[in-house]
Chain A
Amino acid sequence: AQKVTQAQTEISVVEKEDVTLDCVYETRDTTYYLFWYKQPPSGELVFLIRRNSFDEQNEISGRYSWNFQKSTSSFNFTITASQVVDSAVYFCALSPNTGNQFYFGTGTSLTVIP
């Protein structure tokens, strides 16, 4: 099965708090790609990161960081010192290397309260 699970439907944090969005995936492929997208209220999904299955190095980009753990099939996303502009729906996605399929999770709606 190919599947992405984002168990957190909605999260609210107070500005400047850190927050972690969970993503767990299932795939039978050994080579695959994982993504995070942000969907602000305007509707357009914005690409944040792509990670291939052979690269388990964690990545940091400003206040954003990603923790890829193949052993637990997780690709979690942490925002440090959250800001109101971070309020959006965040989607995790999986694309196996074979075929042209993309599997998205149901998204996590993040609200950052000033």
Chain B
Amino acid sequence: ETGVTQTPRHLVMGMTNKKSLKCEQHLGHNAMYWYKQSAKKPLELMFVYNFKEQTENNSVPSRFSPECPNSSHLFLHLHTLQPEDSALYLCASSQDTGGPYSNQHFGDGTRLSIL
């Protein structure tokens, strides 16, 4: 039990589909993150939310659209993705951003495959 739950675990979609990834944390944290993990590449931080406000968007294409309705839930809406978007998408949370409160707790990830 990680405290950070991601659904679905696996997702296969066509390039024209629209789907959403969901992340829920049960740790009482205020910050949530989306990462992309591709083979042979460093984890790429995509978005950061702190107290439901987006604080970082690392030049992510607009076909990825995050949503954070509250501090416990984070979504990643997907539409018209490309084959190179196939990857493991990891959600994380931390008590706060920055410094001593930034230990991140990760979910198991969603393995996304674009056909």
Query: Residues on A close to B: CB < 8 A?
Result: 4, 31, 33, 35, 37, 42-47, 50, 52, 91, 93, 95, 97, 99-107
User: Which residue of the partner chain B has the closest CB to A92?
Assistant: B42
Assess the B98–A97 pair: CB atoms within 8 A: yes
Assess the A44–B2 pair: CB atoms within 8 A: yes
Is B113 close to A, CB under 8 A?
no
Indicate whether A100 sits within 8 Å of B56 (C-beta atoms), given known contacts A4-B42, A44-B2, A47-B104. yes
8 smallest CB-CB distances across A and B, nearest first, come from: A45-B106, A104-B43, A100-B97, A104-B42, A100-B48, A44-B108, A43-B109, A43-B108
Assess the A101–B56 pair: CB atoms within 8 A: yes
Is B61 close to A, CB under 8 A?
no
Q: How many chain B residues have a CB neighbour from A under 8 Å?
A: 29
Summed over the interface, the residue pairs from A and B with CB atoms below 8 Å come to a total of: 65
Chain B min CB distance to A72 (Å): 21
The 8 Å CB contact of A106, one of B33, B41, B104, B108, is B41
User: Which residue of the partner chain B has the closest CB to A103?
Assistant: B42
Assess the A101–B102 pair: CB atoms within 8 A: no
Assess the A95–B42 pair: CB atoms within 8 A: no
Q: Bound complex: CA of A46 vs CA of B40, how far in Å?
A: 19
Q: Bound complex: CA of A107 vs CA of B34, how far in Å?
A: 18
Report chain B residues within 8 Å CB of A102. Answer: 33, 43, 45, 102, 104
Sample of 20 further A-B pairs with CB below 8 A, known A45-B92, A101-B58: A33-B100, A33-B102, A37-B106, A43-B88, A44-B107, A45-B90, A45-B104, A45-B106, A47-B103, A50-B100, A50-B102, A97-B98, A97-B99, A100-B31, A100-B56, A100-B98, A102-B33, A102-B43, A102-B102, A102-B104
Assess the A95–B106 pair: CB atoms within 8 A: no
Assess the B56–A52 pair: CB atoms within 8 A: no
Chain B min CB distance to A89 (Å): 10
Assess the A52–B100 pair: CB atoms within 8 A: yes
Report chain A residues within 8 Å CB of B111. Answer: 43
